[in-house]
A and B are shown apart, each in its own frame.
Chain A
Amino acid sequence: MSEFKVDRRTFLQMLGAAGATGAVATVRFPADMTAIAREANENRPSELWGRPFWVKAVPEVTLGMGEMTGDYQRWNPARDQFHSWSSYVGEAEAGRVSELGAKNEATWMKEGKPGFSLRDIALSNGANLVNMSNGPYGGADVGLQSWQPQPWTMGLREKAQALGVTYDVTPEEAARDVKAAARLYGSAITGITTLDTRLVYEFNGRGQAIFFEDVEAPFTDEEKCVIPSRFNRVVAIASRMSPEAFYRSPSQIGSAAADLGYSSMTWTSGMVAEFIRSLGYHAVPLKNDFCSTVAFGVLAGLGELGRTNRLVTPEYGPMVRLSVVLTDMPLALDGPIDAGIAEFCTRCKKCAESCPSGALSFEDNPSFDVPQGYEWVNAGHKAWWPDQTKCYSYWGEITTGCGICHAVCPWGKKDKAWLHDLSKTTAAATPMFDSFMRRMDDAFGYGLKNSDDEQKLWWELDLPEYGLDTTQAHKRI
């Protein structure tokens, strides 16, 4: 019989969960306690750093969605809806959507339609500045996403070398330091996983081939991007989006929240990479045009894969944007988590019901079977498969990104009401009340605020910086 130890932290986690969810939770507690105790005994102190007590470490991705079959290939983004939409929907449909989009844009600007007026578009443009400073999609080794140490970093390295000072810590301490730095730079949740090269695309958004080679430092040229094959760690970063702006989706205000998220991804991953380089290692900051940030996020335990085929975090739901830093720095690993999110997705389906284009799957469970003709997704793993062409056509018609599926997600609440904590704690412990909580989510009126009045009201709200309550889910301020 294996030895079963419960330390103080684990005991408090168990006690808290038991108190919050009552007798019902005991249905799943024996297995969960064993899992938590096992993880705690594996000496991985960084694993659940700063996470709610009801988020559990698990050895495998929930609902088997982390398994990749032999069919899984490195992705070529030329196949995605952004690059090949017109070939998927046909020239006639592409023409119709483009014409309608142009007409809508002109009409709404002239009318000053709330959420689509000139000032709303200007809001989105401003939020996109840092993101677009690297060029539209695929900006490798440029600007804030540089792959090389900056001049002041080189100066620090030389000074440290002259003084004989090195960053000599354990991988656990290094992981803690990277996470603390990432939080300062804007990461709401940071996790670390191993670098599975299959999750890095074959080409980036600009068509440069991506190679892993036996080189000292990463570099790019006109045709290719080369990453040292010794790189074996990925720092996954979640940058938050303003909920109050994103609830206005689909509109330019909602789009501004996403754009600001992309800008935040740019500076946060760039700064984390520079922090790592300042300590004497190599680091490559990347956004979602270069690798599957969602897969890395799931494997690093930032959240679980949801019905939208996107990451859903326990703390902020899907209201995050993801970036990563690849590195050769020795860092202690995190692992997948179970907060009951994927299980909740099997019953909730609010995103699929709310999707105006009908792009999201209504299947109860995720599947390895990709629907016929879905060339825009990467087969070889289990997921709920979205029809990205329907989604992107709708974007074209309304002249901006949509985001309704994220805005309506019951996990994307603010956290001041204790009812929300109780609901999430219960969902993490048992799926028994998932359907009831979904109905309560509807009854309480959470989700979209995209009426004309709400769009206009946004400009009157006295919101905090970046439209975010940065104390959400954190214990200290």
Chain B
Amino acid sequence: MDNKNWYARPWYEWIGWVFWLALLVLFVQSAFTSTYELEPQAALISWVVAAVLVLFAAIIWGMRAFRR
């Protein structure tokens, strides 16, 4: 897979990435609103989960780039 057709991946993988994006949005939103709701522990956990999700995506993309 070269850089020009990075989007050429099976349909089920795209579903996985949509699910990943939904989770990321959910936890980032939870992180911001938990602060607003005076729930610092919930905010912290939400930030950690969001960070893990971003890290997971970075590792996947990194592995792909390395393979190329």
Contact = CB atoms under 8 A, between A and B. Distances in A.
Q: On chain B, which size bracket covers the interface?
A: 10 to 19
Interface string A413-438: 01011110010000000000000000
B42 A461 contact: no
B38 A417 contact: no
A417 B33 CA distance: 5
A136 interface: no
A244 interface: yes
Interface in B11-52: 26-27, 29-30, 33-34, 36-42, 45-46
Given A418-B30, A422-B26, A445 B36 contact: no
B30 A443 contact: no
B45 A417 contact: no
Nearest to B41: A445
Interface in A10-28: none
A466 interface: no
A444 B41 contact: yes
Interface residues of A, number: 12
A461 B33 contact: no
Nearest to A413: B37
A416 B26 CA distance: 12
A417 B39 CA distance: 11
Contacts of B29: 417-419
B41 A419 contact: no
Nearest to A445: B41
B11 to A, nearest CB: 17
A446 interface: yes
Contacts of A419: 26-27, 29-30, 46
A443 B45 contact: yes
A446 B39 contact: yes
B17 to A, nearest CB: 17
B38 A416 contact: no
A444 B39 contact: yes
Contacts of B26: 418-419, 422
A142 to B, nearest CB: 39
Interface of B: 26-27, 29-30, 33-34, 36-42, 45-46
Enumerate the 6 nearest inter-chain pairs by beta-carbon distance, A residue then B residue, closest first.
A445-B41, A416-B33, A444-B42, A417-B33, A417-B30, A419-B30
24 contacts: A414-B37, A417-B29, A417-B30, A417-B34, A417-B42, A417-B46, A418-B26, A418-B29, A418-B30, A418-B33, A419-B26, A419-B27, A419-B30, A419-B46, A422-B26, A444-B41, A444-B42, A444-B45, A445-B39, A445-B40, A445-B42, A446-B39, A446-B42, A461-B38
